[in-house]
């Protein structure tokens, strides 16, 4: 999420065009994503609809939410746990000393791995196992909670913004194979969160399990998302350290850095840490008043609701001891921790205020900084809407960042609304964890996410600007930063599905079974949305035509691997019929080979960098073929005409020939000297030849021509393939090269600089 | 822990098909996939592999389709609802009311939110003696609500969360009312028509959801109905809106079409409370102070949170009684031939089955395991590493035909600790399960068996390769010899297996790794009467025609726990 990697997720242009296509709801089209169910006359379909309510499934790495479309809340929320991964008929769970033997169970696996459905790093992960786990949970939920039978039902999946394609593929496979769903629609969870908040745009911060994502949603489209590993998992680990310190009796802020063996006697189990994280931790309020005031002065428009300061007895000062009983260590102990200390893990995990902002790696920015950065970068991406982003950057320099945010955003009308959704849990990780003490945030609930509380002044930013909405009954809200409560992605999904809003992508079972079996994840068709992860290579060239193409440099390094492999598949696999046709401006490539080559090199596409040259070479060959073929074709035409209609009057012929030659001239490059091709001379011969001779010659010509045409076809497909593999032009705003260039510092520069 | 019961798990063959489906994913080049492909070749079944957790079942869980002659596990049957009922009051619920009322019992059955014990309705103080008299006036609820739900196990009662009921019946409805305020339908204000009472929408997510739903509904209606339809393909052909659409298609550029072009309507955003829009209250100080006040005991455990109907509870006073989840009886069909292989009695109170083709009665021999020479005193019951031990596997044939059994096991068990396994008699046949009519025969055979057993007791009987140990009416015992591996994490040890020359995995002993579990491939062959029902008249003429059947599957046999010395 540094500026180097750049915006990782702006979908390729081609992808966005797909979105605009038949299946996307989330399409830019500003009109109603939904179709009135209660349409004009009260549709008779209501009764029948009940029967085939689609099932809405929200997937996360920790939790699964299931329910029928149109329900206000999921019927079943599954948290993955090792208990679900036992053999059927293994009832050890109920043995009295089961809980105390967690060490044996936990050994040999990454900490807490049993509680996750998947890890985002799919290397070495058994995808079939993921499918199995998922299948068991889904089956359980379907039969025990949804009480449905095995009848096929439509399924709507609400997916986190960046789900690796293999995982998605495994998921789809499971659902299609075991539950025979006729179609699966995919929705994106940030968009659904926005939908459930009743807004069209916003900045959605999703504190997930594996990572926290900040996603800008504009007009029901994901514009861009940023992520950081400061999420639920880190929080639980932080809690572990914290509790361990407490057990040892040294409540210091200094931590032991090394990872220790987590199975020792004094160690705590994952379950217990998570439980305490959910129950006891809390989060401090913003500490930096001064900024806030500045912001207010500078920007009267900014409303800061959250900000009222209301500390009667600041919880931070409260040193009364809280008693926590720990059972999973040997022997069980009770620790007493001052209440104020309990905010520590949360603070460290999400905000880490002690360290200077310049010392974070790209993937571990504190949440508030990330949100801030997201807002700053946003305008770039949405430049179509905002032309003013220069100003923004100027502003950025001039003002302290708080105002910048507000203003920039405002002016650009970038919309980021900020909804921080409490739903945070859900997304990637669906973390059950709640962040704060208070916590458990559920998404839907009124419970305000504690985090917010916590959020530092910057929260302000989170808030949002609404964008123009055009036809409103009420004046649009603009330029405000608001924190909006969302019902959560599941509810959004439920709503959207019930309204029959078209999904981001809809996958048909038949197609999946055909294409999916050999080409498993065919991201191209499977999910358009994950297009983000998908390589530019696939559709690359569609946008390459424009130099100024606005595609962001989408591929971060992690993606590039996928891309390469996908490209390979692409070569021998038939594109699905429903995939959009790639439309590439090869001419542009031919005319600017250096440009493309440079671009490839800059993006570390070594192999592809030779393609422009090869394309030119191929093109030369192709042209040569064309040239060779032309005279033969003419001759062949003449023969054909003669054979078909020997009585043709001569001057008609000539006229035709002349016209043909003329048009050829137009077509051909000036260099062609074929105004009167050799065939023209022999044309008279044609008339003198006997029928047999004609036939014989025509036969010969046909053979030669067919080889030439074969060559031509081969060359042109090869060119197309090469052109497809060339990455898009890099956006001019993307930093080039591997030398980082400091744009500015947030807060003070790094001490070592 | 010390006690160990030998067990048998059977792998349903359906697992193969799913594997194939998956390995076809070429887009997922993970290592494990390659491994799976190896599995498909049929040799390395590893009961320890994580995936086999999902395909192994105890025999009792399996069904058998007697038309396809295939084992059917819970994963590979298709189910149909027969009855939906509340497990607490056994009241039967119609599937239509399931749609409207949800999946919980809507009468008075509740579970305790603390301990999930059943809750009972109890009068709080003295029952309101005047209540029956007063209650005629519909609008005058008895002011002193005096019924509560109490848990007889942990003594929780609903007054702890401030919930009391006016009357002891219809608790569910009363609770809904208390929890979500008035009837929700009132809040579904259609459209954005002026917010009459913005405050009227309570902050429950349900009400917000309803508000949002109606908001979106109204938006999409207002934003010309046909525009919404245009992109939506096949939806709603049965609705009047479709007419409009079709009209607009055929009438060309009529007014409607023009209007759409000129002014694309935009759905606006919700922005009032009434429309389900809500700013978040970022002030969590009340929650924090509550946490401060109540401490750990005031918060709920994750187990408690999990059973709550709605997410989001944090403190003990946010726990609501849990209405019982409805349960179903379902019949099962073979997914291939659609034959019913299990069908319960539809009546709730009747626990019997009309049809049930359980695998253990219809195809698969049960396997029971016991040590051949039980150690006297049966000390720890653990297997001692590197000491050969012999076990008796007894196969019992449920079929009315003789069955020929072939067994195969890998020479060493898979996993890090390779114990050696020898099946002394891998091929044998078991006599048919005698009909009840043949009582006399049974008795005679029993006598024979008795004699055999006596012979065995003399101790002369030696386990011998290629010979079965003992045979009875419809059962056969064979001997399996195992040499348990040593559980020491010592790469130099013979029984410690290092995978493919890579670093030996020296991590500590995992759960159940000390159990000696034998993967065993069982192949059954028998001849039975051709099934007439399915094949039709032609074959049924030759009644004596025998049909050869076979069935093969993997099973995992847990023999015992190896002691860690």
Residue A650 class from Cβ within 10 Å (0-12 exposed, 13-18 middle, 19+ buried)? exposed
Helices (H), A258-310: 270-280, 289-298
**Nearest chain B residue to A316, by CA:** B288
φ/ψ of B472, rounded to 5, equals -130, -170
Strand B366-371 versus strand B389-396 pairing type: antiparallel
Contact of A120 with A161, CB cutoff 8 Å? no
Task: Give A517's contacts in chain B (Cβ within 8 Å).
Answer: 21, 24
Mutual angle of helices A650-667 and A611-644, in 10-degree steps: 170
Question: Mind giving me the DSSP string for A580-625?
Answer: PPP---HHHHHH-HHHHHHHHHHTT-TGGGGHHHHHHHHHHHHHHH
Residue A21's contacts (CB-CB under 8 Å, 6 or more residues apart) are A27, A580
- Across the interface, do B241 and A139 touch by the CB < 8 Å criterion? no
Provide the token pair at B62.
């399996």
Strands (E), A436-573: 505-508
Question: Mind giving me the DSSP string for A624-683?
Answer: HHHHHHHHHHHHHHHHHHHHH-TT--HHHHHHHHHHHHHHHHHHS-TT--TTS-HHHHHH
Residue B324's contacts (CB-CB under 8 Å, 6 or more residues apart) are B86, B87, B88, B89, B104, B105, B109, B110, B111
Please give the Cα distance from A488 to A419 (Å, whole number). 10
**Is A521's Cβ below 8 Å from some Cβ in B?**
yes
**How many C-beta atoms lie closer than 10 Å to residue B544's C-beta?**
6
Give the residue from A183, A279, A422, A503 with the most B CB atoms within 10 Å of its CB, the best one to mutate.
A279
Cα–Cα–Cα angle for A663, A668, A673, nearest 5°?
100
Residue A44's contacts (CB-CB under 8 Å, 6 or more residues apart) are B238, B239, B240
φ/ψ of A314, rounded to 5, equals -55, 130
Q: Report DSSP state, residue A141.
A: I
Please give the Cα distance from A209 to A429 (Å, whole number). 4
Contact of A482 with B204, CB cutoff 8 Å? no
Say whether A148 sits in a helix, a strand or coil. coil
Q: Based on C-alpha coordinates, what's the Rg of chain A?
A: 32
Least Cα separation, residue A430 to chain B (angstroms): 13
Between B36, B227, B306, which is nearest A128 by CB?
A: B36
- Across the interface, do A324 and B296 touch by the CB < 8 Å criterion? yes
pLDDT in the model for residue B499:
55
pLDDT in the model for residue A664:
45
**Is A415's Cβ below 8 Å from some Cβ in B?**
no
**Nearest chain A residue to B281, by CA:** A448
Between B57, B209, B296, which is nearest A279 by CB?
A: B296
Please give the Cα distance from A119 to B404 (Å, whole number). 47
**Is A73's Cβ below 8 Å from some Cβ in B?**
yes
Residue showing tokens 């992690």:
A558
A179's enclosing H/E stretch is: helix A165-179
Is the N-terminal amide bond of B157 cis, ω within 30° of 0? no
**Is A448's Cβ below 8 Å from some Cβ in B?**
yes
Please give the Cα distance from A451 to A206 (Å, whole number). 11
- Counting every residue, how long is chain A? 753
User: Could you tell me what percentage of chain A is helix, strand and coil, using 3-state DSSP and rounding each to the nearest 5?
Assistant: 45, 10, 45
Contact of A56 with A156, CB cutoff 8 Å? yes
- Across the interface, do B241 and A39 touch by the CB < 8 Å criterion? yes
Give the residue from A88, A339, A563 with the most B CB atoms within 10 Å of its CB, the best one to mutate.
A88
Pick the closest to residue B432 from B383, B396, B459 (CA basis). Answer: B396
Task: Give A285's contacts in chain B (Cβ within 8 Å).
Answer: 285
Interface contacts A/B by beta carbons within 8 Å: 407
Provide the token pair at A576.
């699905």
Contacts 24+ apart (CB under 8 A), B204-208: B204/A446, B204/B179, B204/B180, B205/A72, B205/A73, B205/A444, B205/A445, B205/A446, B205/A487, B205/A491, B205/B310, B205/B312, B206/A72, B206/A73, B206/B180, B207/B180, B207/B181, B208/A487, B208/B276, B208/B278
Least Cα separation, residue A656 to chain B (angstroms): 42
Give the residue from A31, A145, A173 with the most B CB atoms within 10 Å of its CB, the best one to mutate.
A31
Chain A from 556 to 615: CB within 8 A of any B CB: 565-566, 569
Low-confidence ranges of chain A (pLDDT < 50): 1-50, 253-259, 286-313, 379-482, 517-572, 649, 651-682
Q: Report DSSP state, residue A550.
A: -
pLDDT in the model for residue B101:
79
Task: Give B9's contacts in chain A (Cβ within 8 Å).
Answer: 87, 89
- Does the ipTM surpass 0.90? no
Identify the structural domains of chain A with CATH numbers, from first to last. 232-484 (no CATH), 585-662+673-753 (1.10.287.40)
**Nearest chain B residue to A491, by CA:** B209
Please give the Cα distance from A359 to A375 (Å, whole number). 20
Please give the Cα distance from B70 to B86 (Å, whole number). 34
**Is A309's Cβ below 8 Å from some Cβ in B?**
no
φ/ψ of B178, rounded to 5, equals -65, -35
Low-confidence ranges of chain B (pLDDT < 70): 1-3, 16-44, 125-145, 181-204, 220-285, 312, 374-380, 435-463, 490-507, 530-545, 565
Q: Based on C-alpha coordinates, what's the Rg of chain B?
A: 34
Say whether A379 sits in a helix, a strand or coil. helix
Between B18, B239, B292, which is nearest A318 by CB?
A: B292
Residue B34 class from Cβ within 10 Å (0-12 exposed, 13-18 middle, 19+ buried)? exposed
Please give the Cα distance from A283 to A285 (Å, whole number). 7
Between B210, B233, B312, which is nearest A444 by CB?
A: B312
Between A133, A449, A518, which is nearest B24 by CB?
A: A518
- Across the interface, do B103 and A75 touch by the CB < 8 Å criterion? yes
Say whether B561 sits in a helix, a strand or coil. strand
Least Cα separation, residue A182 to chain B (angstroms): 15
Mutual angle of helices A489-498 and B205-222, in 10-degree steps: 40
Task: Give B24's contacts in chain A (Cβ within 8 Å).
Answer: 517-518, 520
Pick the closest to residue A728 from A582, A549, A577 (CA basis). Answer: A549
Question: Mind giving me the DSSP string for B371-429?
Answer: ESSPPGGG-S-PBPTT--EEEEEEEE--SSS-EEEEEE--SB-SSSB--EEEES--EEE
Please give the Cα distance from A234 to A232 (Å, whole number). 5
Contact of A197 with A487, CB cutoff 8 Å? yes
Between B53, B236, B330, which is nearest A86 by CB?
A: B53
Task: Give B103's contacts in chain A (Cβ within 8 Å).
Answer: 75, 145-147
- Beta-carbon-side half-sphere exposure of residue A306 (alpha carbons within 13 Å): 38
Domain residue ranges of chain B, discontinuous segments joined by +: 365-501+510-561
- Across the interface, do B278 and A484 touch by the CB < 8 Å criterion? yes
Provide the token pair at A407.
């203003």
Least Cα separation, residue A446 to chain B (angstroms): 6
Provide the token pair at B272.
């009032």
Least Cα separation, residue A583 to chain B (angstroms): 24
Residue B434 class from Cβ within 10 Å (0-12 exposed, 13-18 middle, 19+ buried)? middle
pLDDT in the model for residue B281:
56
- Across the interface, do A136 and B244 touch by the CB < 8 Å criterion? no
Note the Cα A324 to chain centre separation in Å.
41
Please give the Cα distance from B527 to B50 (Å, whole number). 36
**Nearest chain B residue to A482, by CA:** B279
Between B203, B240, B287, which is nearest A41 by CB?
A: B240
């Amino acid at each position: 999420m540094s500026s180097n990697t750049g915006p990782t997720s702006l979908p390729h242009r081609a992808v966005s065009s797909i979105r605009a296509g038949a299946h996307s709801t989330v399409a830019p089209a500003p009109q109603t994503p939904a179709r009135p169910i209660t349409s004009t006359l009260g549709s008779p379909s209501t009764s029948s609809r009940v029967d085939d309510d689609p099932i809405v499934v929200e997937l996360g790495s920790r939790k699964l939410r299931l329910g029928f479309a149109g329900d206000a809340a999921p019927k079943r929320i599954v948290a993955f746990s090792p208990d679900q991964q036992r053999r059927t008929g293994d009832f050890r769970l109920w043995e009295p000393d089961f809980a105390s033997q967690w060490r044996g169970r936990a050994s040999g696996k990454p900490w807490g791995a049993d509680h996750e459905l998947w890890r985002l790093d799919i290397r070495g992960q058994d995808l079939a196992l993921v499918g199995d786990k998922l299948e068991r949970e889904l089956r359980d939920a379907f039969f025990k909670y949804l009480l449905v039978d095995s009848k096929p039902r439509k399924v709507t999946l609400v997916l986190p913004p960046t789900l690796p394609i293999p995982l998605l593929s495994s998921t789809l496979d499971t659902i299609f194979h075991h539950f025979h769903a006729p179609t699966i629609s995919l929705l994106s969870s940030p968009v659904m969160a926005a939908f459930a908040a009743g807004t069209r745009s916003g900045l959605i911060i999703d504190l997930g399990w594996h990572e926290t994502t900040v996603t800008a949603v504009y007009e029901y489209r994901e514009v861009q998302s940023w992520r950081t590993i400061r999420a639920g998992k880190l929080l639980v680990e932080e809690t572990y350290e914290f509790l361990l310190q407490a057990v040892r009796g040294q409540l210091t802020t200094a931590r032991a850095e090394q990872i220790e063996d987590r199975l020792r006697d004094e160690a705590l189990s994952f379950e217990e840490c998570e439980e305490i994280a959910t129950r006891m931790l809390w989060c401090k309020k913003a500490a930096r008043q001064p900024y806030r005031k500045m912001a207010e002065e500078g920007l009267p428009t900014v409303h800061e609701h959250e900000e009222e300061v209301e500390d009667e007895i600041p919880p931070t000062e409260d040193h009364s001891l809280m008693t926590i009983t720990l059972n999973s260590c040997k022997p069980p102990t009770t620790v007493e921790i001052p209440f104020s200390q309990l905010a520590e893990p949360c603070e460290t995990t999400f905000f880490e205020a002690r360290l200077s902002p310049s010392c974070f790696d790209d993937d571990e920015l504190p949440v508030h900084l990330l949100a801030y950065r997201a807002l700053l970068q946003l305008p770039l991406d949405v430049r179509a809407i905002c032309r003013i982003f220069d100003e923004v950057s100027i502003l950025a320099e001039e003002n302290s960042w708080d105002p910048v945010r507000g203003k920039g955003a405002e002016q650009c009308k970038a919309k980021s609304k900020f909804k921080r959704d409490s739903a945070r849990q859900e997304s990637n990780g669906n973390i059950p964890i709640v962040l704060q003490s208070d916590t458990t945030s559920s998404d839907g609930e009124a419970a305000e996410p504690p985090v917010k509380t916590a959020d530092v002044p910057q929260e302000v930013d989170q808030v949002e600007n609404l964008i123009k909405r055009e036809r409103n009954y009420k004046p649009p809200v603009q330029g405000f930063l608001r924190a909006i409560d969302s019902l959560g992605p599941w509810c959004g999904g439920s709503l959207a599905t019930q309204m029959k809003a078209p999904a981001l992508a809809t996958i048909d079972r038949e197609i999946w079974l055909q294409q999916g079996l050999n080409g498993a994840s065919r991201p191209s068709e499977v999910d358009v949305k994950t297009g983000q992860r998908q390589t530019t290579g696939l559709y690359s060239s569609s946008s390459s035509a424009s130099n100024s193409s606005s595609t962001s440099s989408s591929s971060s390094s992690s993606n590039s691997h996928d891309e390469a492999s996908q490209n390979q598949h692409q070569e021998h696999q038939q594109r699905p019929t429903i995939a959009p046709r790639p439309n590439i401006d090869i001419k542009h490539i031919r005319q600017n080979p250096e440009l493309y080559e440079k671009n490839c090199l800059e993006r570390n596409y070594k192999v592809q960098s030779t393609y422009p040259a090869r394309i030119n070479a191929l093109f030369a060959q192709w042209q040569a073929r064309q040239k060779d073929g032309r005279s033969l074709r003419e001759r062949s035409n003449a023969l054909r005409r003669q054979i078909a209609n020997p009585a043709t009057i001569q001057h008609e012929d000539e006229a035709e020939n002349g016209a043909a030659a003329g048009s050829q001239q137009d077509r051909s490059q000036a260099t062609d000297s074929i105004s009167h091709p050799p065939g023209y001379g022999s044309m008279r011969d044609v008339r003198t030849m006997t029928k047999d001779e004609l036939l014989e010659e025509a036969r010969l010509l046909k053979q030669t021509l067919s080889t030439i045409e074969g060559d031509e076809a081969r060359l042109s497909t090869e060119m197309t393939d090469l052109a497809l593999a060339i990455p898009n032009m890099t956006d001019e705003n993307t930093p080039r090269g591997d030398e980082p260039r400091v744009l500015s510092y947030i807060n003070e520069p790094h001490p070592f600089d | 822990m010390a006690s160990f019961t030998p067990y048998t798990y059977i792998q349903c063959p359906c697992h193969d098909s799913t594997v194939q489906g998956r390995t076809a994913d070429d887009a997922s080049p993970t290592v494990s996939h390659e491994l799976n492909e190896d599995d498909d070749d049929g040799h390395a079944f590893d009961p320890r592999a994580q995936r086999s957790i999902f395909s192994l079942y105890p025999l009792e869980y399996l069904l058998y389709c007697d038309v396809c002659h295939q084992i059917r596990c819970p994963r590979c049957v298709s189910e149909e609802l027969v009855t939906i009922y509340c497990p607490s009051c056994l009241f039967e619920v119609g599937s239509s009311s399931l749609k409207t009322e949800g999946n919980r019992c809507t009468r008075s059955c509740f579970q305790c939110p603390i301990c999930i014990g059943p809750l009972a309705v109890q009068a709080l103080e003295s029952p309101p003696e005047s209540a029956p008299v007063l209650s005629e006036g519909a609008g005058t609820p008895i002011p002193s609500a005096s019924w509560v739900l109490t848990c007889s196990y942990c003594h929780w009662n609903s007054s702890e969360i401030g919930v009391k009921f006016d009357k002891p019946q219809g608790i569910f409805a009363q609770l809904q009312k208390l929890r979500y305020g008035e009837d929700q339908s009132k809040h579904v204000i259609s459209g954005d028509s002026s917010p009459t009472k913005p405050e009227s929408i309570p902050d429950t997510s349900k009400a917000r959801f309803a508000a949002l739903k109606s908001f979106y509904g109204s938006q999409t209606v207002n934003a010309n109905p046909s525009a919404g339809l245009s992109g939506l393909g096949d939806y709603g052909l049965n609705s009047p809106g479709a007419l409009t659409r079709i009209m607009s298609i055929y009438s060309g550029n009529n007014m409607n079409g023009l209007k759409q072009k000129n002014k694309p309507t935009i759905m606006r955003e919700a922005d009032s409370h009434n429309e389900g829009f809500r700013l978040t209250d970022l002030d969590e100080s009340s929650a924090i102070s509550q946490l401060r006040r109540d401490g750990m005991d005031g918060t709920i455990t994750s187990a408690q949170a999990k059973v709550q109907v709605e997410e989001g509870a944090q403190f003990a006073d946010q726990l609501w009684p849990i209405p019982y989840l409805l349960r179903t009886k379902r019949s099962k069909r073979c997914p291939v031939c659609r034959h019913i292989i299990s069908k319960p009695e539809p009546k709730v109170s009747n626990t019997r089955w009309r049809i049930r083709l359980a695998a253990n009665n219809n195809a698969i021999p049960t396997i029971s395991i016991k040590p051949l020479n039980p150690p006297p005193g049966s000390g720890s019951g653990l297997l001692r590493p590197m000491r050969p031990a012999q076990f008796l596997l007894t196969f019992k044939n449920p079929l009315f035909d003789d069955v020929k059994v072939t067994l195969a096991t890998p020479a060493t068990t898979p996993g890090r600790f390779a114990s050696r396994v020898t099946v002394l008699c891998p091929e044998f046949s078991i006599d048919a399960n005698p009909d009840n009519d043949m009582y006399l025969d049974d008795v005679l055979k029993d006598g024979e068996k008795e004699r055999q057993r006596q012979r065995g007791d003399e101790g002369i009987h030696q386990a011998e390769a290629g010979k079965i140990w003992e045979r009875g009416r419809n059962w056969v015992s064979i001997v399996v010899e195992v040499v348990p591996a040593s559980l020491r994490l010592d790469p130099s040890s013979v029984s410690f297996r290092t995978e493919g020359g890579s670093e030996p995995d020296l991590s500590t002993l995992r759960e159940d790794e000390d159990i000696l579990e034998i993967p065993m491939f069982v192949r059954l062959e028998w001849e039975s009467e051709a099934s007439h029902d399915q094949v039709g008249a032609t074959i049924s003429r030759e009644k004596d025609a025998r049909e050869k059947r076979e069935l093969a599957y993997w099973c995992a046999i847990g023999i015992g726990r190896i002691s860690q010395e």
